[in-house]
């Protein structure tokens, strides 16, 4: 077995005439936390479902946890924890009953002890008798994560796991993910939150079913080619409106009393600031990951 938990090449999947994944190749090392980024419809969920054996690829090949993704999907599913976008446990069962049911599905030996152990680890002991439907969004996500890792999988696939969850719950959720990564659990997680992407060892950006860029967050930003300036002062909203309609400006976003503008064309961006900068105090700043993400989205929209 290789050192890669995921090693696939040329994956393709279409639904009718719609090509969702086209020639995707991906390697994820054991114990790595890999972030999956991309616009809605870019192929993230379809790729995840092919990797865990829920969808059969139309083409391509590869292995997941050492098993062939086409010939051995059942073996893969036994060793994968998959957390979907929507809460998929039973809301009319308690926390304990839900986890006990999952343990039965996996035919776990001494399942009661396993359930108690995972509740302790996820901080769910005090809520063991609470109905799942009565939990807040953050606690539902903890319960869903507990159900995913109860059978001690080697690979965790998370599809936008913290959508709609408050900032504190999201941070606690990610702390749990990193704790498990230390123990060797590999994680592939799709997200639209840039602070979450920055917590991944590596990020992979998909567009139209293909990987267009990948690497560490700092590396992706450094190689983006983006130039960003920040203007501070009064009237940032008016300046933003003007700059958004000025040639050479790809994005203009207000953050309190600061306005950030970005472009691949430095000269055009500087001319735009001189013309419509609104008298703000401008300085060049390092691009952020969200600047790069918005840039990629804009490029994708222009191509479509």
Over residues 246-294, the pLDDT tens digits come to 999 999 999 999 999 999 999 999 999 999 999 999 999 999 999 998 8
Confidence of residue 300 (pLDDT cuts 50, 70, 90): low
Among the listed residues 65, 75, 68, the one whose alpha carbon sits nearest the alpha carbon of residue 2? 65
Rounded CA-CA distance 215/53 in Å is: 26
Write down the pTM of the prediction: 0.87
142: helix, coil or strand?
helix
Rounded CA-CA distance 114/60 in Å is: 38
Q: What percent of the chain has pLDDT over 70?
A: 98
Is residue 272 packed enough to be buried (19+ CB in 10 Å), middle (13-18) or exposed (0-12)? buried
Domains of the chain: 4-221 (3.40.50.300), 227-286 (3.30.70.100)
What pLDDT is recorded for position 85? 84
Q: pLDDT tens-digit profile of 67-99? A: 999 999 999 999 999 998 888 999 999 999 999
Rounded CA-CA distance 60/288 in Å is: 34
Task: Compute the residue count for the chain.
Answer: 304
Q: pLDDT tens-digit profile of 7-44? A: 999 999 999 999 999 999 999 999 999 999 988 889 99
- 155 close to 6: Cβ distance less than 8 angstroms: yes
Tokens of 210: 């293909």
Tokens of 61: 């090949």
């Amino acid at each position: 077995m290789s050192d890669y938990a995921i090693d696939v090449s040329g994956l393709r999947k279409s639904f009718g005439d719609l090509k969702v994944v086209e020639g995707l190749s991906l390697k994820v090392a054991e114990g790595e936390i890999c972030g999956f980024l991309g616009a809605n419809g870019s192929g993230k969920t379809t790729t995840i479902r092919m990797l865990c054996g829920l969808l059969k690829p139309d083409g391509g090949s590869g292995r997941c946890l050492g098993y062939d993704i086409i010939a051995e999907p059942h073996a893969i599913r036994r060793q994968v924890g998959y957390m979907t976008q929507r809460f998929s446990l039973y809301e009319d069962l308690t926390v304990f009953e839900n986890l006990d049911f999952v343990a039965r599905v996996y035919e776990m030996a001494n399942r009661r002890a396993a359930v108690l152990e995972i509740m302790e680890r996820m901080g769910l002991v005090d809520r063991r008798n609470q109905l799942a439907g009565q939990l807040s969004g953050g606690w539902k996500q903890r319960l869903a994560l507990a159900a995913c890792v109860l059978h001690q999988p080697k690979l965790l696939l998370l599809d936008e796991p913290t959508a709609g969850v408050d900032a504190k719950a999201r941070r606690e959720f990610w702390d749990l993910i990193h704790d498990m990564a230390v123990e060797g659990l590999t994680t592939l997680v799709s997200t639209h939150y840039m602070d979450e992407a920055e917590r991944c060892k590596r990020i992979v950006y998909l567009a139209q079913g293909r990987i267009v860029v990948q690497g560490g967050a700092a590396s992706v930003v450094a190689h983006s080619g983006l130039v960003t300036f920040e203007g501070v002062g009064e009237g940032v909203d008016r300046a933003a409106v003007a700059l958004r309609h000025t040639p050479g400006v790809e994005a203009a976003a207000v953050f309190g009393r600061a306005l950030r503008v970005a472009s691949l064309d430095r000269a055009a961006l500087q001319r735009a600031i001189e013309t419509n900068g609104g008298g703000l105090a401008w300085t060049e700043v390092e691009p952020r990951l969200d600047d790069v993400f918005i840039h990629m989205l804009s490029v994708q929209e222009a191509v479509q």
